[in-house]
Amino acid sequence: MSQLGHFFGNGISRRDFIKTCVATTAVMGLPFSMAAKVAEAAQAPDRPPVIWLHFQECTGCSESLLRANHPAPATLLLEMISLDYHETLMAGSGHQAEKSLHDSMKANHGKYILIVEGAIPTKENGIYCKVGGKTALESLRKAAEGAAAIISIGTCASYGGIQAAPPNPTGAVGVRDIIKDKPIINIPGCPPSPYNLLSTVLYFLTFKKLPELDEMGRPKFAYGRRIHEHCERRPHFDAGRFAKAFGHETHAQGYCLYKLGCKGPATYANCSVQRFNDVGVWPVSVGHPCIGCTEPDILFRTAIADKVQIHEPTPFDSYAPVDLKDKGKGASPVTTGILGLAAGAALGAGAMMARKLPDAEQPAEHGQGGDHEPKE
């Protein structure tokens, strides 16, 4: 794919490469020291190739990856990762393209990473989506056979997306509804953050295993928390300050967008932290409520203006510890015991001494008592 170097600028500098590795390592939630290991994996000569299939979709996921302001993620993916087949990016076409796909699948059988973009129609044997004379269903089943792992990028490949929205005329479904015997990682989002994809691929290359996934098959490092938990408008939510309408004074004030239909309280994603376009923006930061694109039951199934049910109206209780836990060390039974004995002995000795001391001044001999030094 050397012609892409021409398109995206002359390759990737060492500095950009390391920066991107550090960024993806951070997205994975790994310590900084792991960045070196990630960078090493991204350069390994025997790293597995990537095959990228497109089905029912808008290519927005590929676009978001390629059209990022800084080309680093795309360049890294395209140059560092051996992308053997990508229908929208590859120069070849027709039979030549088909041959390239076939050759790569054969040569790297059992080793390559399959990335799927788009939903797969199943009605009428999947005739609604065909590439090279084969239905999406056939292509997917064939490519999945030799894949080491499958990454479903975008909401369509993950859950069916807009194609699967009722009444779902083509019977579109996500990859996980068809392929049952391969490890599948869902990177939902419309589109997802390119860093989430890159981090997942590099995680797989670095550790030779899948990252920890939630019950939706999403990597927990990116989809472990609701965006509401880290939203910059969260203090307004907690204080009960809500934007009442688009363009309203409360909206201009940057108040919480919940009443405008923000799905943040129900949506698991790292948008509020990782953000987009490498300049730190995301929908909520520019005044639009979250539409819940990473959730199978929210986007395309509820109206954008609908409010979600909030199950935890109060802030979660795992902030920095200013709690009631005991700090420092208290009394130990042995210490208190010995101290009590000593105090008792001193008191006793004092009392004994007071008893032995003469009550009135006596001119003659005193102090016939014991020869020890009494304690005070």
Partner 1 sequence: MLKNRRKPMMGGSMSHDEYQIHKAKILTPAFWVLLTLTVIGFALIAVRFIWGIGAVSNLSDGYPWGIWITYDVATGTAIACGGYAVAILIYIRNKMHYHPLIRSAVLTSLFGYGLAGFSVMVDVGRPWNAYNFFVPSQWQANSAMFEVALCVMAYTTVLAIEFLPAVLTRLQETNWSRARSFLEKYHGRFGLDTPVVLEKLEKLGQRALWLQPRLDKVLIFVIVLGITLPTMHQSSLGSLLLIASTKLYPLWHTGFLPLLFLINCMFIGYSIAILESIISSYGFKRPFEIDQLSGLASITPYLTSIWLCVVVGDLVWRGQVANALRFDFYSAFFLLEFGLVATGSLLLFSKKRRQSPRWLFITAVLIVLGGALYRFNVYLIGFNPGQGWRYFPSLAELMITVGIVAFEILGYQVLVKLFPVLPRLHGHEVVEKV
Q: Which is nearer to partner 1, 15 or 329 (CB)?
A: 329
Orientation of helix 94-107 relative to helix 136-145, angle to 10°: 30
What gap in Å lies between CA 213 and CA 150, rounded to an integer? 13
Does residue 21 have a known ligand-binding role?
no
Q: Segment contacting partner 1 (CB under 8 A): 77-85, 100-108, 279-287, 333-341?
A: 333-341
Q: Cβ contacts of residue 288 below 8 Å, gap of 6+? A: 257
Among 13-21, 175-183, 279-287, 330-338, the segment contacting partner 1 (CB under 8 A)? 330-338
Residue 53 β-bridge partners:
116
Contacts of 340 (CB under 8 A, 6+ apart): none
Q: Using alpha carbons only, give the angle 182, 160, 210 rounded to the nearest 5 degrees.
A: 30
Which is nearer to partner 1, 315 or 340 (by Cβ)? 340
Q: Are 53 and 115 in contact (CB under 8 A)?
A: yes
CB nearer to partner 1: pick between 245 and 352: 352
Taking the least distance from each CB to partner 1, the nearer of 125 and 335 is 335
Task: Judge whether 126 and 162 are in contact, CB under 8 Å.
Answer: no
Helix, strand or coil, per DSSP, at residue 17: helix
Choose which of 339, 341, 345, 352 interacts with partner 1 (CB under 8 A): 339
228 a known binding residue? yes
Residue (14 or 372) nearer to partner 1, CB? 372
Does 344 bind partner 1 (CB under 8 A)? Our answer is no
Find the shortest distance in angstroms from Cβ 218 to partner 1: 38
Site for partner 1 contains 357 (CB under 8 A): yes
- Work out how close the CB of 312 gets to partner 1 at its nearest, in angstroms, rounded to a whole number: 25
Q: Which of 132, 247, 336, 341 binds partner 1 (CB under 8 A)?
A: 336
Q: In angstroms, rounded to a whole number, what is the distance separating the alpha carbons of residues 356 and 364?
A: 15
- 320 contributes a contact to partner 1 by CB under 8 A: no
Residue of 285, 161, 159, 277 lying closest to 227 (CA atoms)? 285
Is 180 one of the binding residues for partner 1 (CB under 8 A)?
A: no
Which residues have C-beta within 8 Å of that of residue 185, sequence separation ≥ 6? 149, 150, 151, 152, 200, 210, 211, 213, 217, 218, 219
Q: Does 317 bind partner 1 (CB under 8 A)?
A: no
Q: Which of 279, 286, 320, 360 binds partner 1 (CB under 8 A)?
A: 360
Q: Residue 345: which H helix or E strand, with range?
A: helix 333-356
Considering only 328, 341, 344, 348, the residue that binds partner 1 (CB under 8 A) is 328
Q: What is the end-to-end Cα distance of the chain in Å, rounded?
A: 91
The helix or strand, by DSSP H or E, that contains position 116, with its residue range, turns out to be strand 112-117
Residue 129 is labelled as binding a ligand: no
Residue 335 in contact with partner 1, rule: CB under 8 A: yes
Q: Which stretch binds partner 1 (CB under 8 A): 113-121, 162-170, 242-250, 347-355?
A: 347-355
Q: Can residue 338 be called a binding residue for partner 1 (CB under 8 A)?
A: yes
Please report how close the Cβ of residue 345 comes to partner 1 at its closest, in angstroms.
12
373 binds partner 1, rule: CB under 8 A: yes
Strands 130-131, 134-135: pairing is antiparallel
Q: Read off the tokens for 155.
A: 């909401």
Binding site for partner 1 (CB under 8 A): 323-332, 334-336, 338-339, 342, 350, 353-361, 363, 366-369, 371-374, 376
User: Which residue ranges are tagged as binding site?
Assistant: 58, 61, 156, 190, 228, 231, 256, 262, 271, 290, 293
User: Which residue ranges are tagged as binding site for [3Fe-4S] cluster?
Assistant: 271, 290, 293
